[in-house]
Each structure stands twice: as C-alpha cells, then as structure tokens.
C-alpha cells in the first residue's frame, strides 16, 4: 500500500485508461481479502483500488495489511455508511472511470477490461457499461444465475418502472457522470437505486452480455433485514420517492411511487412476510404486475392468499445447490477466481 501520485494524462488504448475501484468495508475480516484480490487480479492492470474502512472494530485492517500491492490504498473513517465511504474514496480517486465492489462480492478477472472496451466503442462519449451476475450463499455455493440483459441506451424509463439490473457493483461508470449528477446520497437508505435513477436520467447504458460478477446473498443484508418491520420498510421505500420527487415531473414521481410499493410488496412475499404483503396490498397498483412471472404470482396472492413466490425462489436455489455445484467449481477454477469466505 502506498501514497498515490497524481495520475498522468490518459489517452490512447483501453490499457492506458486508469480505473478507480472503490470498496467500502465494515467488519469485513472474513471476506475483504478475497474482494480486493479479485479487483487487483483484473486483466486490466491500469487501476487503483481504494478500500474505505468504515469504522471496523474487527481484524479488517490487519487482513488488508497482508496485501502487498502499490495499487492498493486504504482510507479510514468513523462509521458513516456505504454512501459516505464511497464518496470519501471518490474525492481521492484519480481514474477516468469508477467501479464499485462490495466487500463480500467478487469480480471475474475480465470484468473491467470487458466493460471498458464496451464504453470505448460506445457511440456516446459518456456512459455506463454493465454486466450480469451469479448469486451465491454465505459458503460460496451457487444459488442463481441472473438473466443476462442486453438493453442499450436510455434505461431511465426501465428504472422508474422497476427494473433493478444496474447494481453499482455490476457497472463501470465514466467519472464525468458524478460531476454531472453528484455523489451517493448518504442520507438515503437506498443509495444505490437513488444514484442509478439520477445517472440513467442523463446517460446511456451499454451491456457486456456476460455474467462477470459474483453477488453474495446474506440473511443480514440491510434491505432484507428490515422486512419484518412493516412500518420501517414502507417508510424507507417512500423516503426514496420523497427524496427524488422534487427533480421529477408529477408523472415520473407517480411512476416511481407505484413501482416502489409494488417492489416492496413482492419482496415481502419473496421472503415469507405474507401478512405485511396483505397490509400493503391496498396501496399497490396491481396493473404493473402482469409483465413478469414474479408479478403474476403476486397477483395470484392478492386474489387467493397463496404465496408461490417464496417457494419458487427456494426451488430455484435448491436446484442450483443440488445440480450446478460441480459446474460452478469448474467455472471458478477455469476463471482463476478464488471464492472462499473465511
């Protein structure tokens, strides 16, 4: 780890483009080393990795000290949350492009190179490249293979109407996007969605058409952990709507509110909070649920009280656990991706 000198002017091929990878971490001793290594092992070598320790009291810093690479830089701050940690690194980073990695997730080695090539070939000078992901459990077992999306260009309407395939850890952002729309909102519970909405309102997206990231599902994730508390879950969702509404037209604000409540309704069902789903149902615009299998199952619950979303989710995960683990281990080995949670 070392101090960072100012970046030189960047021109020419993609191999010369400096990419800043930003990894916030809190109490991450079990998995931070694997995340950092998956960033440092990218085939695109011209990068810097900024890890922001958000007030950890475990052995996170000790684990980071075992990594000897001049491209790694560690910042420390009092606990202030993921958005504040990312913003602190953005203020220091020198890259022309930003990539964000959660501390318990991983990237395949070709992720940044693939996304950078996409942006360099795109017709617009400023944009967002994105990939798809594999979902794993806390032991690294494959649970789900996310759909590979191929949407090109304007994604703002998709985001307003409930598409959620643009998690920051799946994207590569031209840094000029942050100059135009601002940083992550540290006061917003859903800071990722808030930022993606603002970014896609002004800038196009371009797909790689590949699954290049590993997303670790946990039972303690913040969006999942509040679902047992109906009032808090509803309030956090609608706070996002209130935050963004002043910059929206009335139609946009209404669409965002409708989608936000529909999404919460489906998440209640996905994680077996049927009573909370029933309680929210009078506020849900069910006309927006016809376009997907999950939505149609949500309609079925509204009519019959039978929740098939949760067992369908468990069935998909059981299928992958029972039949896909051999392939998954071979795929990781062939990709030289170490997926071990200590």
Cα–Cα distance, 268 to 227 (Å, whole number): 7
Decide if 150 contacts 157 (C-beta within 8 A). Answer: no
Residues 6+ apart with CB under 8 A from 64: 1, 32, 33, 36, 51, 53, 72, 74
pLDDT in tens, 79-123: 999 999 999 999 999 999 999 999 999 999 999 999 999 999 999
Largest CA distance in the chain: 63
Residue 8 has pLDDT above 70, yes or no: no
pLDDT in tens, 223-265: 788 999 999 999 999 998 999 888 899 999 999 999 999 999 9
pLDDT at 12: 47
Beta bridge partners of 174: 97
Residue 6 has pLDDT above 70, yes or no: no
Please give the full DSSP string across 54-113, using - where no structure is assigned. Answer: ES--SSHHHHHTT---TTEEEEEE-S--HHHHHHHHHHH---SEEEE--TT-EE-TTHHH
pLDDT at 10: 35
Residue 5 has pLDDT above 70, yes or no: no
Decide if 188 contacts 236 (C-beta within 8 A). Answer: no
CATH of 14-218, one of 2.160.10.10, 3.90.550.10, 3.40.50.2300, 3.40.50.970: 3.90.550.10
Q: What's the chain's average pLDDT?
A: 92
Structure tokens at 107: 């990237």
Residue extents of the structural domains in the chain: 14-218, 222-307
pLDDT at 221: 66
Decide if 113 contacts 42 (C-beta within 8 A). Answer: yes
Please give the average per-residue pLDDT across 121-135, as a whole number: 97
- Element (DSSP H or E) covering residue 212: strand 205-216
pLDDT in tens, 17-35: 999 999 999 999 999 999 9
More confident residue, 163 or 275: 275
């Amino acid at each position: 780890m070392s101090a960072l000198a100012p970046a030189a002017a960047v021109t020419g091929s993609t191999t010369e483009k400096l990419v800043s990878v930003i990894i916030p971490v809190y109490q991450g001793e079990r998995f931070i080393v694997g995340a950092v290594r998956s960033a440092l092992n990218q085939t695109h070598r011209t990068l810097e990795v900024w890890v922001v320790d958000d007030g950890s009291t475990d052995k996170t810093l000790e684990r980071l000290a075992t990594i000897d690479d001049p491209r790694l830089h560690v910042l420390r701050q009092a606990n202030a949350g993921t958005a504040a940690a990312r913003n602190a690194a953005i203020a220091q980073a020198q890259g022309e492009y930003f990539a964000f990695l959660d501390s318990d997730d991983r990237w395949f080695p070709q992720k940044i190179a693939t996304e950078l090539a996409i942006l360099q070939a795109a017709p617009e000078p400023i944009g967002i490249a994105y990939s798809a992901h594999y979902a794993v459990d806390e032991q690294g077992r494959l649970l789900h293979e996310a759909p590979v999306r191929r949407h090109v260009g304007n994604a703002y309407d998709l985001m307003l109407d409930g598409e959620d395939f643009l998690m920051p850890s799946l994207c590569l952002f031209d840094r000029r996007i942050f100059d135009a729309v601002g940083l992550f909102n540290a006061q917003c519970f859903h800071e990722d969605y808030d930022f993606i909405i603002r970014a896609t309102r002004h800038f196009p997206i371009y797909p790689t058409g590949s699954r290049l990231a590993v997303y670790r599902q946990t039972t303690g994730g913040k969006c999942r952990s509040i679902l047992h508390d109906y009032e808090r879950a509803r309030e956090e969702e609608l706070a996002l709507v209130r935050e963004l509404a002043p910059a929206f037209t009335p139609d946009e604000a209404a669409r965002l509110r409708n989608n936000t409540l529909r999404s919460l309704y489906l998440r209640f069902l996905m994680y077996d909070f049927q009573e909370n789903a029933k309680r929210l149902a009078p506020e849900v615009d069910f006309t927006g649920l016809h376009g997907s299998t999950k939505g149609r199952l949500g309609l079925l619950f509204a009519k019959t009280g039978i929740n098939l979303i949760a067992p369908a989710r468990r069935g998909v995960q059981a299928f992958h656990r029972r039949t896909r683990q051999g392939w998954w281990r071979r795929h990781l080995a062939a990709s030289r991706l170490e997926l071990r949670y200590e």
